[in-house]
Chain A
Amino acid sequence: MITIYRAKRILTMNPSQPEATHVAVREGRILGAGTRDALAGWGEHRLDDRFADKLLMPGLVEGHSHLFEGSVWAYVYVGYHERMDPDGRLWPGATSIEAVVARLREAEAALTDPAQPVVGWGLDPIYFGADRVSRADLDQVSAKRPVGVMHASFHILNVNSAALERGGLLRRGVEHPGVPLGADGLPSGELKGPDAMMPVAPHVGFDRELLAADERGLRLFARLAVRKGVTTATDLASLLPQNAVDMMLGVTAEPAYPLRIVSLLRLMSQTPQALVERAIALRALSTDRLRLGAIKLVADGSIQGFSARLRWPGYYNGAPNGLWYTPPEAMRAVYARALKEGILVHTHTNGDEATALVLECIDEALQAQPVRDHRFTLQHCQLADGAQFRRMKALGLCVNLFPNHHYYWGDEHYAMTVGPERAERMNACATALATGVPLAIHSDAPVTPLGPLFTAWCAVNRRTASGRVLGELERIGVQDALRTITLGAAYTLRLDHEIGSIECGKRADFAVLEDDPLEAGAEGLKDVRVWGTVQDGRIFEAAAL
């Protein structure tokens, strides 16, 4: 049965027919876009007018997110900025320490099990001026229960006295760079970096189980995706143990599961050979809605956590250089094997030194084994300069940049981490496009909220939370941004032949919008309202979830 949807406007991302008014769908795929008359020739059809006052775009593609964005809503959101949860509830920002404490107290009052910790997430105290959250603040939430609040960056955890005590840290004489002490010589309750969090995190519920894909999180993630117009999203680094894969296969196969997930296998402890073999085995398990078989490598850490590897002259505030997370030998071995087996590899390179090393390693692997169209992608790649983009182009690499960082941490990058010039160069979307490097942009949800239209707004405006425009000349146009959050991201996942544009033969994946993003323009992009999605021809209205 053919359905022809009439829409107010369809932005197809197909350069040979950028706009249309109707799209014909059969068996979950697109027969064509155009006028009703042009599509009627496909045969008997039903005209569906439900989108007559809506705008259709290709289903949005989030090229770097984590299913954890669904899981983390099990905890109390205490971020500074308002944020929508999977049920569509808009949580207002907690804009002072008092507001954070009040929201946690409310959650505490609702707990019945006396042993249960109170757990919050999304804290961003850079907006609180010189005030830091202390254990005394969180002791006001509970003197007995452990209380923990994860920062928005996921690099710092604030805890109360009870949590410190259970973790064995409520004592004098603690010497660790990640454990600042208060005037009384006891830890202040701020735990910086995964090492410092280690003894306490399990007592406040931030442990390994939470980071593994959980079924509830997988469902919540998809609900959030529908609300943001997303029909395909990545789960960019998972260890993918077989039980998680089985669970994901089951959930995504349910008739009403609205999202296509692309889950990448992360290198962690195993040998490059075992990793690639596992990726090949996973590839064979792929379904339409769960795409497996690609690999994620992590070269370095994060810029705001000072664990990214920077080239000379290093961090603006003089912090020592960051850490390598994977030895170059292991990365080289993975690239060589993956090229041979046709496995896609995405590599996290935050700092420019990490980018430089990975460019060398991939160059070497390609010299030994020239492969066309490998689509190896550098993820984040926030500090790459012009020369590095030119080399990416020469090596056939794609890049997935992180413009949301400008909004959330741009002011910090300017003042502290990398200084003015590099802060303005960061996430150089315009340079990538000008150089011809295939570009995607991302949220890294839950580090920043899932929402490609917001990410597009960030790339188009490059405005920080304080209102500074950071790198005027690296702003990109609205059209380019919209293409980047559809076809651009699809290309980096080797899915551009299936999704990313509305044209004959592709999946019937649409973002259904109440407002026209081209009319909304640069300023209004982030406020474009999403009605819901069509995914593989199935209709999902956000308000009806």
Chain B
Amino acid sequence: MPVPKLTQGAPLPVTVIGGYLGAGKTTLVNHLLRHAAGRRIAVLVNDFGALPIDADLIEAADGDVLSLAGGCVCCSFGSDLMGALLKLAQRAPRPDQLLVETSGVALPGAVAASLSLLTDVLLEAVVVLADAETVRARAADRYLADTIERQLHAADLVVLNKLDLVAPQAQAALRAWLATQAPRAVVIDAVHAQLPVELLLGVERAAARGRVAARRPLDALRPRPAVAAETLFERIETRIERPLDVRRLGEALADPALGVIRAKGILRDAAGAPVALQLVGLRATIQPLESMRPAGGRLLCIGLRGRLDGSAIRAALERAEIGGTAPGTS
């Protein structure tokens, strides 16, 4: 029997969400589902916790696949990630975005490495949640220490969650320690895993395809008050039509000096073909798109308020222009 393909067109973007038990993975996943804004998210979960999805988001259950509001789905994968992916591939319509929520003791880096073997998914980011209150104790546990270390080490983005439970004077030491544990990652603070969705999810693919989501966005289901965390971030958005050396732009934006936590662009590459650029921490991925969005290209950069260096971002864009100034000759 032929094995079905996951996608018919471009690879499916996937974000791996890891972290130890109680760090807030499930809360984060539900938050993303509520604010999916038309993205059809497929969640693959593998945890030993309670119901992975808030009850009000579930429309129907069919075996181990849950149909969720907004065209999203959730599937438990146990020891068979491939089987779960193939099951999702047979669903119509196909999802826009995959979230893989790993078990609390799994190594998200290993899960990401295995996903990277699949040609029809594209790894966008490894997000690891850390429970601000308990992460250091866990990382000193005789049985768990190396698991926690390996989880953090693989992160592109660490969500330092439950920060409200840590005294302000202890927070600096915690951040300094995290910087040593997760050297490749951007660390962002959170309470109840409430984060701007754009920080974690890629380009709204429905929009990129020039198609409006047919279903009600999840946000409409149950409005949530604006989250304090939103005010911690700022964004710079630029329209851009010129062909770019997108790889070079990605590398430039990853420089910590620019303050970019997350960037995403719908851009034209050197040959003029439309591509999506995703940057999380140091990880930049570039993916061809079927078509340019009708509104034209754009680049969105998100960073902590006051840390985003607009002029450096503009300079990076200029340097990436095809026929632009070569490095070291300006």
Contact = CB atoms under 8 A, between A and B. Distances in A.
Nearest to A334: B48
A115 B21 CA distance: 44
29 contacts: A115-B1, A169-B117, A175-B113, A176-B113, A178-B114, A179-B117, A195-B110, A195-B111, A196-B114, A198-B117, A199-B82, A199-B117, A199-B119, A202-B3, A207-B82, A207-B83, A269-B45, A269-B48, A269-B64, A269-B76, A271-B49, A323-B105, A324-B144, A325-B105, A326-B48, A326-B105, A327-B21, A327-B48, A327-B103
Interface of A: 115, 166, 168-169, 171, 174-179, 194-196, 198-199, 201-203, 207-208, 239, 267-272, 309, 320-321, 323-330, 353, 356-357
A239 B117 contact: no
Nearest to B114: A195
Contacts of A176: 113-114, 116-117
B2 interface: yes
Contacts of A272: 48
A330 B48 CA distance: 7
Interface in B1-28: 1-3, 20-21
Nearest to B1: A115
B256 interface: no
A202 B3 CA distance: 7
Interface-central residue, A115, A179, A320, A329, by most chain B CB under 10 Å: A329
Interface in B96-117: 103-107, 110-111, 113-114, 116-117
B3 A203 contact: yes
Contacts of A199: 82, 117-119
Interface in B126-176: 143-144, 146-147
Contact of A324 (B1, B50, B80, B105): B105
B89 to A, nearest CB: 11
Chain B: interface size category = 35 or more
Contacts of B117: 168-169, 174, 176, 179, 195-196, 198-199
Nearest to B119: A168
A231 B113 CA distance: 44
A78 to B, nearest CB: 23
Majority DSSP secondary structure for residues of A touching B: loop
Contact of B3 (A166, A267, A330): A166
Nearest to A166: B3
A327 B119 contact: no
Nearest to A360: B143
Interface in B49-68: 49-50, 64
B118 A168 contact: yes
A198 B6 CA distance: 14
Given A271-B50, A325-B105, 20 more contacts: A115-B1, A168-B120, A175-B116, A176-B117, A194-B79, A195-B110, A195-B114, A198-B117, A199-B82, A199-B117, A202-B86, A239-B78, A267-B48, A268-B78, A268-B79, A271-B49, A320-B146, A324-B143, A327-B21, A327-B48
A327 B82 contact: no
Contacts of A207: 80, 82-83
B113 A269 contact: no
Interface-central residue, A239, A271, A327, by most chain B CB under 10 Å: A327
Given A196-B114, A198-B114, A328 B143 contact: yes
Contacts of A328: 143-144
A194 B1 CA distance: 21
Nearest to B103: A327
A308 to B, nearest CB: 14
B107 A198 contact: no
A249 B79 CA distance: 25
B123 to A, nearest CB: 12
8 closest A-B pairs by beta carbon, nearest first, are A195-B114, A168-B119, A324-B105, A330-B48, A208-B83, A198-B82, A268-B78, A269-B76
B47 interface: yes
A123 to B, nearest CB: 21
Contacts of B110: 195
Contacts of A357: 143
Contacts of B45: 269
